[in-house]
Structure 1
């Protein structure tokens, strides 16, 4: 009789252990699901976010040119990063592009808990605004009224004016003609608004001619750099120039306030005259909020969210 009772008790305890083991396995699988599937969700979310960030930054580069080109750029870049964007995923303002995308991610271990898949989403927004500070800027100043219609940057004629003794150059701490030529090729750093610059009188024709020609020669193998319509900021002959309010009060060594920056495609330099064309451009730098010269101001891009 006692043996039967002990056998019955053993069966009951064995059943309880099985129940506990089953519960433990469910809990264990839950932790595995959280660890593995959770890691996968984090990875997919990160991948999606990076793709959208890259897409809006690329799209914003063309936002001042056309919304169609901005859309095309954003779609192309996102596709290269493994994410397909449709028109419905993109929203625009005159100064921003925003992408929102949701994807479905299949789960593995979470299936034992009844979860087959779940959605992850991401949003990215890039804004376009005038640059207030940039490096790689040529020490050449132009009147804001010259932008964008003037096709020549003249010495002693219309820019900056025949009575001022200036050819539109900015003094770089007394570095003279050689310093001017070097800065035309390699650029300098300028701030909009808070920066007062001093003019550099004289033509500096020889050094300036050599500097300009070196920029043109550097692009000899780049067919897209040979036209203002197709050139971009990878072209050496596309320079950034300083925009001032007016040359009216300048005479010899004079202090001028920068009101903006603009991109200028160089056709040639001849007889102290720089021939070319202002172009719309987005370039690296620190962005601000206002511009004195509209869409032909040099613009920058940054992520806003």
Structure 2
């Protein structure tokens, strides 16, 4: 019996080598596919980051492009610069602008290494991205409020008169009333966020400690667009209008936000001055809330939409 078993074992010895050879081939094949798949994943990640960064950079120029079509080319150029800086051939990327959106589509042919064994020489790697600018509906968190804005009662057509706006005025023959200043509170009551539709209050008088030539002139600031509410306006829950403490305070309603470049500050006395500015089309850094339905006064923030 023992001799019979030994003879069977000897007969099977030659069959193991083919099985090992087949197994090794399959194993090497899977290993090759895993390595090449990892390479494709890294390439996809690299290209995706490049197109994301490209559209975000290009979108920064879209605000001005809404009124100056030549800025569209500047936005596309900026996007391509980012593509190249991230090691992607610009010939493999298509960038387009439509309205307030910029898109990027990349199609890169990646050479394979081990997959060539199976006749696969290269594989396309595709990535796309889109960024859009939206008007802001609220400024929050890092918002540093300025104590003035654009009064639509004084400037009903301010979008057409954008180059010579008086944001805060001063008249020697008028000592009382509202001259363009806003009450932003102080201490724990300081207003650190403003929203479209929000109700706040004016700050009667001409004097304010921060109105100084060195503080404002030649600076760009984001400010609210507002309208005066009737003097008999009845406060509602959630309103930030505070009529107490100073005679002549009026409630205002924020209609939106705009950005102005302070062209001149004319001081007439200590802490008293007139402030002049011009409207700017601009894209803000993060720190605000966007809404495509918000009134558009030329101040935007960028959102990655794809």
TM range, normalised to the smaller chain?
Answer: 0.7 to 0.9
CA RMSD of aligned residues (A): 3.2
Higher mean alpha-carbon deviation, 46-55 vs 254-263, is at 254-263
Match of 1:302 in 2: 303
Q: Is 1:138 the counterpart of 2:146 in the alignment?
A: yes
Q: Is 1:257 the counterpart of 2:256 in the alignment?
A: no
Q: Is 1:114 the counterpart of 2:114 in the alignment?
A: no
User: Structure 2: any 5+ residue segments left out of the alignment?
Assistant: 1-5, 65-70, 232-246, 268-272
Distance in 1 between the 2:200 and 2:86 partners? Answer: 44
2:211 aligns with one of 209, 212, 216: 209
Kept after mapping to 1: 8 A contact 2:76/2:96: no
Match of 2:16 in 1: 17
Q: Is 1:71 the counterpart of 2:73 in the alignment?
A: no
Match of 2:166 in 1: 153
Q: Is 1:35 the counterpart of 2:40 in the alignment?
A: no
Displacement after TM superposition at 1:63 (Å): 1.4
Displacement after TM superposition at 1:43 (Å): 0.7
Distance in 2 between the 1:239 and 1:99 partners? Answer: 31
Distance in 1 between the 2:111 and 2:93 partners? Answer: 24
Q: Is 1:287 the counterpart of 2:303 in the alignment?
A: no
How many pairs were matched up?
Answer: 263
Distance in 1 between the 2:175 and 2:256 partners? Answer: 24
Higher mean alpha-carbon deviation, 42-51 vs 283-292, is at 283-292
Distance in 1 between the 2:46 and 2:93 partners? Answer: 20
Displacement after TM superposition at 1:114 (Å): 2.6
Match of 2:243 in 1: none
Displacement after TM superposition at 1:201 (Å): 1.3
Distance 1:154 1:112, change over 3 A: closer
Kept after mapping to 1: 8 A contact 2:58/2:76: yes
Displacement after TM superposition at 1:249 (Å): 4.2
Once the two structures are superposed, residues 87-134 of structure 1 have per-residue CA deviations (whole angstroms, 9 ceiling, x without a partner) of 971222111111111111112222223322211101101111101122
2:178 aligns with one of 138, 151, 166: 166
- Normalized against structure 2, the TM-score is what? 0.75
Distance in 1 between the 2:216 and 2:79 partners? Answer: 31
Once the two structures are superposed, residues 137-181 of structure 1 have per-residue CA deviations (whole angstroms, 9 ceiling, x without a partner) of 4232212432352423254579xxx79822222212256xxx99x
Displacement after TM superposition at 1:71 (Å): 0.5
Q: Which has the higher helix share?
A: 1
Distance in 1 between the 2:159 and 2:214 partners? Answer: 23
For the residue of structure 2 that corresponds to 1:140, the secondary structure is coil
- Normalized against structure 1, the TM-score is what? 0.75
Distance in 1 between the 2:58 and 2:128 partners? Answer: 14
For the residue of structure 2 that corresponds to 1:76, the secondary structure is helix
Displacement after TM superposition at 1:239 (Å): 0.4
Distance 1:242 1:163, change over 3 A: farther
